[in-house]
Amino acid sequence: MNGYLRHIIIAFLLLFPITSRGQVLDDGIDRTAEDFVQVGLVAAEPGNVLYSVLGHACLHLQCPAYGLDYFFSYESENAREKVLQFLTNRLKMGMAQFSPEEFLKVYREEGRGVWEYPLNLPPEVKSELWRICDEAVAQGMDLPYDPVARGCAISVVHCVEKAIQAANRANGTQYKIDYPEWKAPFDRTMREIFYIYAPHGWGLFWCMTLVGGVVDKPHLPNKEKLISPQLLAETWERSSIAGQPLMRKRIELLPPSALPHPQYITPLVVSIAVLLLAILSLFWGRPYIEWLLLALQTALGCLVVWMWLMPLPASGWTWLVIPFNPLPAVFWKWRKYWALPYACVLFVWCAVMAGELLWGQILVEWAHIIMALAFGIFLIRKVK
């Protein structure tokens, strides 16, 4: 069915009676009833790839009277299939609509658990929320990809807040979500939040490597830091609206079935291997070891600098630019002039970053620090 035609039909079914309270149409269905539209926050377990490192959040909307049952989820084009579009800020995203079977199929295949938290939203808000989601689906994949500003959990918050505002304007109400007054973890930056809530592995390592800019700002509004589905659920469990709890007890939609597979080749293991190679080069220098270490530093440096200089979403200045950049490769011919001073800079950088981590301020991962230390040791070898 054409998206706009479908929107008109659902808008009539869901919104018409809300604008004239208490009406029951000839079919005998009370469209102002609390359960005419049912809304739930859906949260899925974290996955093993970059885009699923925090899990996933979306909205589950149902209208049993008309047999409507859909999951509304913000999705992006496949970055793995469109790497060039991602690196040049041409990747798109938008809201998609799925049947329960379609939505849960992917998580069932991956063995990831999925839970739903029913929301106690007023009827007017739930109907407006359905309209907003339906309009977003009709727009298609036309939004620039932004995993922070339009991440799954943040997008759910924005949709619900937008529906509350629309209901207030249409009906003269003053609904709002009363958020809890709790400090942790909102005294953290967004980088620190996803470091806390994401499983440690390659997905988190690449997140910590690629993102920068806004994720390190400490004084963002609390609602803009709800980037983790788990954190969003924990926050809304403590929130209220119209004098009642915002969320009810969670429902298990899909039990986790994947057995945990220990990762032996982790970023930390790889970084330690690189460090051992650098130490080995001090006593047993071989050209292929030296070129391998320089190639690793240059490749990672090109990626970090590209993400910093290009106007990509969730990118910007990052402390990783200091140890990881392509300048050493560019000026390699003249290394006898700069290798030792730069190595000293790297050692100081490692000490400061390690101190920040031990103090609880998360700017980089241990793997980054160990790799930078390895490159500093390697440069000492090249001074000889």
**For residues 216 and 82, which has the higher predicted lDDT (pLDDT)?**
216
Q: What range defines the domain where residue 193 resides?
A: 3-254
- Tokens encoding 94: 């938008």
262 within a domain of the structure (yes/no): no
Flag whether 347 is in a domain: yes
Res 18 pLDDT > 50? no
Domain co-membership, 177 together with 285: no
Name the band, by pLDDT with cuts 50, 70 and 90, for residue 221.
Answer: confident
Distances (CA, A) of 165 to 112, 120, 281: 34, 16, 63
Residue 15: predicted pLDDT: 54
Identify whether residues 166 and 305 lie together within a single domain.
no
* Burial (0-12, 13-18, 19+ Cβ within 10 Å), 205: buried
CA angle 257–261–262, rounded 5-degree value: 150
Q: Which span out of 99-108, 146-155, 186-195, 251-260 was modeled with the highest average pLDDT?
A: 99-108
pLDDT for 14 equals 60
pLDDT of residue 52: 84
- Per-residue pLDDT of 272-301, as tens digits, reads 999 999 998 888 877 888 889 999 999 999
Return d(Cα 74, Cα 150) in angstroms, integer. Answer: 8
| Predicted pLDDT at 182 | 72
Mean pLDDT confidence for 74-98: 84
- Same domain flag for 220 and 291: no
Query: Would the pLDDT of 160 be above 60?
Result: yes
- The residues near 301 (Cβ < 8 Å, ≥ 6 apart) are 324, 325, 326, 327, 328, 329
Residues 164, 126 share a domain: yes
Residues with Cβ within 8 Å of 267's Cβ and at least 6 positions away in sequence, in order, are 201, 202, 205, 365, 367
Q: Are 122 and 35 in contact (CB under 8 A)?
A: no
345 within some domain: yes
Q: Is 339 helix (H, G, I), strand (E, B) or coil?
A: helix
Q: Would residue 30 count as lying in a domain?
A: yes
Kindly state the percentage of the chain with pLDDT values over 90. Answer: 58
pLDDT of residue 368: 97
Question: What's residue 384's pLDDT?
Answer: 54
289 and 217 within one domain: no
Query: In which band, very low, low, confident or very high, does the pLDDT at 327 lie, cut at 50, 70 and 90?
Result: very high
Single out the residue in 254, 276, 300 at which a domain terminates. Answer: 254
Confidence of residue 21 (pLDDT cuts 50, 70, 90): very low
Last residue within a domain, chosen from 219, 254, 289: 254
pLDDT of residue 145: 86
Choice among 76-80, 207-211, 351-355 with the minimum mean pLDDT: 76-80
Q: Are residues 231 and 351 in the same domain?
A: no
Same domain, 231 and 276: no
260 lies in a domain?
A: no
Same domain, residue pair 100 and 219 = yes
pLDDT(19) > 60: no
DSSP 8-state assignment for residue 248: -
- pLDDT band of residue 6 (cuts 50, 70, 90) is low
pLDDT at 20 over 60: no
* % pLDDT > 70, the chain: 90
Kindly state whether residues 148 and 282 are assigned to the same domain: no
- Looking at 225, 254, 283, the residue that finishes a domain is 254
Q: Indicate if 130 and 238 belong to the same structural domain.
A: yes
What is the tally of structural domains in the chain? 2
User: For position 260, what pLDDT does the model report?
Assistant: 67
Q: What is the pLDDT of residues 62-73, one digit of tens each?
A: 999 889 999 999
More confident residue, 12 or 154: 154
Is residue 164 within 8 A of residue 175, CB to CB? The reply is yes
Is residue 261 one of the residues assigned to a domain?
no
378 and 349, same structural domain? yes
What is the structure's pLDDT at 150?
86
The answer on pLDDT for 313 being more than 90 is: no
Residue 313 included in any domain: yes
- Cβ atoms of 37 and 63 closer than 8 Å: yes
The 10s digit of each residue's pLDDT in 334-377 is: 998 999 999 999 999 999 999 999 998 899 999 999 999 999 99
**pLDDT for residue 23:** 47
The answer, yes or no, to whether residue 10 has pLDDT greater than 80, is no
Q: Is residue 217 a part of any domain in this protein?
A: yes
pLDDT at 331 over 80: yes
pLDDT of residue 105: 94
Instruction: Indicate whether 133 and 202 sit together in one domain.
Output: yes
Lowest-confidence pick of 24-28, 203-207, 225-229, 326-330: 24-28
Give yes or no for residue 2 having a pLDDT over 60.
no
* Mean pLDDT along residues 136-150: 88
Residue 186 pLDDT class (50, 70, 90 cuts): confident
Q: Is the pLDDT of residue 12 over 60?
A: no
- Mean of pLDDT over the chain: 87
CA–CA separation, 165 vs 279, rounded Å? 61
Asked whether the predicted pLDDT for residue 174 surpasses 80, the reply is yes
